[in-house]
Amino acid sequence: MATIEATGVVVRAAGEPPRLEPIVVDDPGPGEIRVAVTANGLCHSDHWAIANGNWGAPWPMLLGHEGAGVVEAVGLGVTSPTPGEPVLLTWAMPCGVCPSCVRDRPRRCAHGWAQPPRMRTADGATLTGTLAIGTFATHVVVHAAQAVALPPGLDPLAACLLGCGASTGVGAAVNTGDVRPDDAVAVIGLGGIGLAAVQGARIAGARRIVAVDLLPAKFDAARALGATDVVDASVGDAVATVREMTGGVDVALEATGVAAVVAQAVAMLGRGGTAVAIGVPAPASDITLAWGEGTPGAAYPNKVRLTVTDGGDPVPEDFIAWLGWAADGRLDLGAMVSRVAPLTEDEIGEGLRAMLAGEVVRTVYRVDGAPLPGTA
Ligand SMILES: [Zn+2]
Ligand SMILES: [Zn+2]
């Protein structure tokens, strides 16, 4: 099989720093496409995978799961997308082959993409992509269904956020949490996913959107994107404050990955409300919920629901709709791009540092994956 040489961000083992390395990329096989990547966002889940492992996949790992680029070659049987077409790459697309997909419940997809590995290190080690995709390279092979055509005029450096952070937050609000017009919503944690959840709640018609964070510096962005109220969780009792303001919310969206915050989200609910746990938890973590009558926000007899999402539970039509929202301005992706950086090892280290320090919503990398001569 023919291969091309590319450059990718490789992590050799848990806790090792990401390295920019030459990689070898196969031609796309049946049902696959090769994409010249132009933009890649750095997400908390990238850091989670570096620290904790790639959800059970073997090392080494090709980092990245929030990319956009241009299709440069398609495999047997692929009619869409077509070479030359700009695309969003997303891990969260239903795979079609896991037990949930086979039973026609694609929103419960386990992302069980059954593809042979197409990327290797220069010394021949098989690379598995972060979250079963891997987008942080100049050229990658993905399943054709993991790509969605970008509407004309959408900047890939912003649109790539719909590959993970923006789609997860918006989907958690409109799919998993099922925010309805006139709802009161709390969003806890105002990173990229939380700000996207604020926007999803606004687009769904929420009457009140209470944005909660420990860092007041994040409140201006939340207000600009749709929050009607803000709560500084570093002072006082955020649960009591949100309950006082709203009488208990219809939907509470947790975007921190901290177990105690999931319990707080449930405790913020009014009768019949839904809490959505979006963040990726620490391995082997537990939560404790107030259950019995007598505690404000106790699960009984409040008839609350707690649901867990791993990417906003999208189906293909959702991506088309959300890209449309981005194109018509309802979904402001540009506001969530704090910084555009060149693809260097130093900048990847700096991007991880700034993300963990809470200094940025997103660092997006400009990837010079120009299509190879004669391929597009
Ligand atoms: Zn599936
Ligand atoms: Zn992500």
Ligand 2 mean position to 23 CA, how many Å?
Answer: 22
- Eight-class DSSP state of 218: G
Interior/surface letters 284-321, b for 16+ CB within 10 angstroms, e for the rest:
eeebebbeeeeeebbbeebebbbeebbbbbbbeebbeb
Position 296 confidence tier, pLDDT thresholds 50, 70, 90: confident
Is the bond into 99 cis (omega within 30 degrees of 0)? no
Q: What is the DSSP letter of 367?
A: -
pLDDT of residue 294: 87
Confidence of residue 241 (pLDDT cuts 50, 70, 90): very high
Q: Which ligand is nearest to the CA of 146?
A: 1
Query: Which protein residues have a CB closer than 5 Å to ligand 1 (ion)?
Result: 94-95, 98, 101, 109
Identify whether the C-beta of residue 9 lies closer than 8 Å to the C-beta of residue 64: yes
Q: How far is the CA of 45 from the centre of ligand 2 (A)?
A: 5
Q: In which order are the strands placed within the sheet that holds 184-188?
A: 229-232, 208-213, 184-188, 249-254, 269-277, 305-308
Residue 73 CA to ligand 1 center (angstroms) comes to 25
pLDDT per position as a tens digit, 157-210: 999 999 999 999 999 999 999 999 999 999 999 999 999 999 999 999 999 999
Q: Which two tokens stand for residue 32?
A: 């696959």
pLDDT (average), residues 232-255: 97
pLDDT reported for residue 370: 63
Give the pLDDT confidence score for residue 152 in this predicted structure: 92
Q: 192 CA to middle of ligand 2, Å?
A: 9
Section 322-341 average pLDDT: 97
Handedness of CA 192, 340, 94, 97 (dihedral sign): negative
Rounded to the nearest angstrom, the distance between the alpha carbon of 44 and the centre of ligand 2 is 6
Ligand 2 centroid–CA 12 distance in Å is 20
The model's confidence at residue 371, banded by pLDDT at 50, 70 and 90, is low
Share of the chain above pLDDT 90, in %: 93
Domain 172-308 has CATH 3.40.50.720: yes
Once rounded to an integer, what is the mean pLDDT over residues 303-310? 96
| For residue 372, pLDDT beyond 70 | no
pLDDT digits (tens, 9 = 90+) for 100-144: 999 999 999 998 887 888 999 999 999 999 999 999 999 999 999
Residues of the chain with CATH 3.40.50.720: 172-308
Q: What DSSP character marks residue 130?
A: G
User: Across residues 278-305, what is the average pLDDT?
Assistant: 92
At 307, is the secondary structure helix, strand, or coil? Answer: strand
How confident is the model at residue 375, as a pLDDT? 45
Helix ranges, the chain (H): 44-52, 99-102, 156-159, 165-171, 192-203, 219-225, 238-246, 259-267, 299-302, 316-328, 345-356
Q: What is the number of alpha carbons within 13 Å of residue 263 lying toward its C-beta? A: 12
Strand partners, 39: 68, 366
What's the topology of domain 3-164+312-366?
A: Quinone Oxidoreductase; Chain A, domain 1 (3.90.180)
Query: What are the residues whose beta carbon lies below 5 Å from ligand 2 (ion)?
Result: 43, 45, 164
Tokens matching residue 253? 């969206």
- The Å distance, Cα 113 to ligand 1 centre, comes to 7
- How far does residue 163's CA lie from ligand 2's centre (Å)? 8
Q: Where in the chain is the domain with CATH 3.90.180.10?
A: 3-164+312-366
Question: What's residue 369's pLDDT?
Answer: 73
What does the DSSP assignment read for 102-119?
Answer: HTT-GGG----------E
The pair phi, psi for residue 213, each rounded to 5°, is -155, 165
Q: For residue 1, what pLDDT is reported? A: 72
The residue among 360 and 369 whose pLDDT is bigger is: 360
Q: Tokens for 182? A: 């006139």
Q: What is the pLDDT of residue 373?
A: 47
What average pLDDT is seen over the chain?
95
